[in-house]
Amino acid sequence: MGEEGTAMRRTLVISDIHGCFDTFKDLLHQIHFDTKQDQLILLGDYVDKGPKSKEVVELLIDLTEKDGVIVLKGNHDQRFVDVIAKDDEQAKVKFFEHGGLQTLASYCGQALSEDLNKAQKFIYKNYRHHLSFLESLPYYFEDNHHIYVHAGLNPRFADWKQQSPHDFMYIKDDFFKNTTVVKKTVIFGHTKTIHLHSTADIWFGGDKIGIDGGCSSGFQLNCLEITAENTYRSYRVKFS
Ligand SMILES: [Mn+2]
């Protein structure tokens, strides 16, 4: 291993990109993401709120196919599929309450985005591969020392893999206010770290680590670098 440390294998974790394509690219550049050496893990919520959801999903499909990037599913990703492909009425209400209009504009342009019916048809016709990609994403990943999820683990499940998809994508207080029932450290997004401590930086909460820097709310996109058990480094890029 040279002084440059090029042989060091890194796990890099990023969450809640929410259409912030430019910030995501800046962050990958800042951390010198090396597709051959590094294991990149993304914790979900790629669409809504930010301006470039389509570009984000396009890049993720590419990264998954070519570079073995691990891409988990967030609640916004499932909801986008439910609105466009399943025409789910309840999902539509939540979609527009939480930044869905920006996703339609990203896929269809401003004018078409104002007519949901037309936007649905346009996206279904031209980007069905994006919908099937998002629909197919897994809820978790684990390695020797860590469990990676979008929202968290429900402590009521001794076997955490038995918890519901809803828990994987939505759980908040029941997870982060309690100690976990697992041995591995849980890495999660979904809850902005500004709600967990006084800054948008990564929150090291003992048995769990929160990384959602609230980029789409004007804060920052974080990256957690893991090089060994309990060896962490934080990176951040301010929203741009
Ligand atoms: Mn979320």
Encode pLDDT of 7-46 as tens digits: 568 999 999 999 999 999 999 999 999 999 999 999 999 9
The mean pLDDT of the chain is 95
* pLDDT value of position 186: 98
Q: CA nearest 201: which of 238, 230, 175?
A: 238
Tell me the pLDDT tens digit for each residue of 209-231.
999 999 999 999 999 999 988 89
Measure 127 CA to ligand 1 centroid, in angstroms. 22
Q: Is the pLDDT of residue 65 over 50?
A: yes
Q: How far apart are the C-alpha atoms of 81 and 108, rounded to whole Å?
A: 15
Q: Is the pLDDT of residue 1 over 60?
A: no
Averaged over 180-206, what is the pLDDT?
Answer: 98
Q: Is the pLDDT of residue 160 over 50?
A: yes
Q: Note whether 24 and 14 are within 8 A (CB).
A: yes
- DSSP-derived 3-state class of residue 107: helix
Measure 44 CA to ligand 1 centroid, in angstroms. 7
Q: CA nearest 44: which of 220, 157, 218, 187?
A: 187
Measure 31 CA to ligand 1 centroid, in angstroms. 24
- Angle between helix 116-126 and 128-136 (nearest 10): 80
| CA atoms within a 13 Å half-sphere pointing along the CA-CB vector of 240 | 9
Residues above pLDDT 70, as percent of the chain: 97
The sign one gets for the Cα dihedral 138, 144, 150, 152 is positive
Q: How far apart are the C-alpha atoms of 223 and 212, rounded to whole Å?
A: 9
The model's pTM is: 0.95
Measure 73 CA to ligand 1 centroid, in angstroms. 9
Q: Is the pLDDT of residue 205 over 70?
A: yes
Q: How confident is the model at residue 113 (pLDDT cuts 50, 70, 90)?
A: confident
- DSSP-derived 3-state class of residue 96: helix
Measure 98 CA to ligand 1 centroid, in angstroms. 10
Q: CA nearest 175: which of 142, 224, 214, 208?
A: 208
Q: Note whether 221 and 24 are within 8 A (CB).
A: yes
* pLDDT value of position 3: 44
Q: Is the pLDDT of residue 71 over 60?
A: yes
Measure 199 CA to ligand 1 centroid, in angstroms. 19
